């Protein structure tokens, strides 16, 4: 079993001139610095031969010594913040960790790349009540490169680490750093020991890092801006993959959004990047979004129904309503969860990731890609806006009912594409494109809530049927159904007003 620890720490250079630590009891809140002795640590770091994990700032190690011996996979969260996923000590890399790195490693073999042996002198910074505020360690490190051919294969250095205690205030690290800086101690230029070891022991012939980056068109061209947006979405897919596997909140949604943004950009900017090449990739992205939707849609639906039930007065909450919803959700969610993991472990998904990397390495740019972004991008965005206008105006002509529901759903998809188009153009076009995207988002929100109500009513009817078959009263389910009908009607009345603000939106 793997467990997770949020690690918030800072690293500092330690030299002969800064070997003596300043008096850290002068840091506000610190009453004592307690010596915890020296631990001998021995860690072997694993990566692909072309260092795909290192390129993404991930580290995977097998470590003995200290109080946390085992396998550790560190995933970046923010500057100075990483999630450390731990697994018990074993001879081979645990599958629980290799799966979390798979969006980067793909089918490449993991091999030992660096061995680090450290003598760790540990001190605890403690408060008046004896609680630990942070752990400070002085690490004397010996690094040995295990792959890479000829070159300097060993390195030595000493560094200082300050790791915040669990649930500690990051501002405390600022106070410690202020004291260290006054003593001449500066932040390390390397984000991790592995990064420094790789840099210090780089082979004579550099290893080509992964992932591969696209050939960049000239600055300020439409192609340059579109490719930057595409790369950001591909990077998001790769980064959110392990978050989905860990069931982190909103991770499925964010991964799905990245696939949709990518597909939308292919279609919107088809005059800039060749759709003859990107359309097949877009179909694979559509497949991935749909497969992820099995899990995400259930998550959204459950949240909506749970909120509805919570708002019902107790006198109107008849029968085991919460229990029935919980059973219904668990049954559907467990199946969707297994399905999502099967998709991420499947050959089709990995092939898609490889295709995306290849596409960005040699992007199929058209002549319009060389045009200035300020002239090429607005035309593409306004074309998407015109499609949205057609769909919204068609929906508004229809009477309430199933046909209008379907038309509003189609308009919702067009609004989402228009919003993404505006967001993609914002770095090049600035505030007008940003304002355009906000207005499209407002339209998308109204239409999205309407569609969520349509889906919720279908689920409520199914739950009412189940309750009735089990001999329970279906009163509350019917009440909730009526509330969703009223919510949908309100969104339909709201749409003309929101659309009036968005109808004349421009990006220049």
pLDDT in tens, 366-405: 999 999 999 999 999 999 999 999 999 999 999 989 999 9
Class of domain 219-311+321-371: mainly alpha
Task: Give the 3-state secondary structure of 117-178.
Answer: EEEEEEEEEECCCCCEEEEEEEEEEEEEECCCCCCCCEEEEEEEEEEECCCCCCHHHHHHHH
Superfamily, domain 3-200: Hypothetical Protein Pfu-838710-001 (2.40.320.10)
Q: What is the pLDDT of residues 46-97, one digit of tens each?
A: 999 999 999 999 999 999 998 889 999 999 999 999 999 999 999 999 999 9
pLDDT tens, residue by residue, 351-368: 999 999 999 999 999 999
List, as one string, the DSSP characters of 303-315: HHHHHHHHTS-GG
Residue 265 CA: distances (Å) to CA of 142, 162, 231, 425: 48, 43, 11, 10
- Omega prior to 275 cis, within 30 of 0: no
In the block, which residue shows the tokens 């800039």? Answer: 272
> How would you class 142 by CB atoms within 10 Å of its CB: exposed for 0-12, middle for 13-18, buried for 19 or more?
middle
DSSP string of 382-426?
HHHHHHHHHHHHHHHHSPSSHHHHHHHHHHHHHHHHHHHHHHHHH
> Which of the two residues, 480 and 293, has the higher pLDDT score?
480
Say how far apart CA 198 and CA 114 lie, in whole Å.
8
pLDDT digits (tens, 9 = 90+) for 438-480: 999 999 999 999 999 999 999 999 999 999 999 999 999 999 9
CA distances from 323 to 272, 309, 330, 506 (A): 53, 11, 11, 49
pLDDT for residue 109: 94
**269: which strand partners?**
none
Structure tokens at 63: 């470590």
User: Angle 222-245/251-268 helices, nearest 10 degrees?
Assistant: 160
Does residue 491 sit in helix, strand or coil?
helix
Q: Identify the pLDDT of residue 214.
A: 47
Q: How far apart are CA 260 and CA 39, in angstroms?
A: 49
């Amino acid at each position: 079993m793997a467990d997770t620890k949020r690690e918030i720490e800072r690293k500092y250079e330690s030299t002969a001139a800064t070997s003596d630590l300043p008096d850290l009891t002068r840091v506000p809140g610190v009453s004592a610095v307690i010596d915890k002795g020296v631990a001998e640590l021995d860690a072997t770091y694993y990566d692909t031969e072309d260092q795909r994990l290192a390129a993404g700032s991930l580290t995977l190690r097998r470590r003995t010594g200290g109080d946390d011996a085992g396998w550790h996979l560190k995933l970046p969260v923010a500057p100075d913040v990483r999630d450390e996923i731990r697994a018990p000590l074993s001879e081979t890399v645990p599958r629980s960790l290799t799966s979390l790195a798979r969006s980067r490693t793909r089918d490449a073999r993991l091999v030992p790349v660096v061995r680090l042996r450290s003598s760790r002198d540990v001190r605890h910074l403690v408060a008046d009540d004896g609680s630990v505020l942070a752990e400070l360690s002085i690490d004397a490190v010996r690094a040995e490169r295990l792959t890479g051919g000829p070159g300097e294969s060993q390195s030595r250095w000493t560094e200082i680490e300050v790791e915040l205690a669990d649930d500690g205030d990051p501002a405390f690290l600022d106070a410690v750093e202020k004291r260290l800086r006054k003593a001449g101690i500066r932040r390390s230029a390397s984000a991790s020991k592995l990064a420094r070891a790789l840099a210090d022991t780089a082979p004579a012939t550099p290893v080509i890092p992964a992932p591969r980056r696209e050939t960049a068109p000239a600055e300020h061209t439409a192609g340059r801006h579109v490719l930057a947006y595409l790369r950001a979405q591909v990077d998001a897919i790769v980064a959110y993959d392990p978050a989905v596997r860990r069931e982190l909140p909103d991770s499925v949604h964010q991964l799905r959004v990245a696939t949709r943004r990518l597909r939308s950009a292919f279609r919107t900017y088809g005059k800039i990047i060749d759709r003859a090449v990107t359309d097949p990739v877009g179909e694979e992205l559509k497949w991935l979004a749909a497969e992820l939707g099995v899990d995400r849609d259930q998550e959204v639906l459950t949240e909506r129904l749970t909120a509805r039930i919570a708002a019902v007065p107790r006198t109107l909450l008849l029968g085991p309503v919460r229990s029935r919803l919980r059973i219904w959700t668990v049954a559907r969610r467990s199946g969707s969860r297994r399905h999502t993991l099967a998709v991420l472990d499947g050959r089709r998904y990995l092939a898609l990731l490889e295709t995306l990397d290849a596409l960005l390495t040699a992007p199929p740019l058209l002549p319009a890609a060389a045009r200035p972004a300020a002239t090429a991008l607005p035309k593409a965005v306004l074309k998407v806006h015109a499609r949205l206008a057609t769909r919204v105006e068609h929906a508004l002509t229809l009477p309430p009912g199933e046909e209008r529901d379907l038309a509003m759903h189609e308009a919702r998809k067009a609004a989402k594409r228009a919003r993404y188009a505006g967001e993609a153009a914002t770095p090049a076009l600035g505030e007008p494109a940003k304002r355009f995207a906000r207005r499209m988002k407002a339209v998308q929100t109204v239409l999205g809530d309407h569609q969520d109500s349509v889906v919720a009513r279908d689920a409520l009817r199914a739950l009412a049927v189940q309750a009735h078959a089990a001999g329970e009263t279906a009163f509350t389910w019917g009440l909730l159904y009526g509330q969703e009908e009223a919510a949908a009607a309100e969104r339909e009345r709201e749409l003309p007003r929101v659309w009036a603000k968005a109808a004349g939106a421009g990006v220049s």
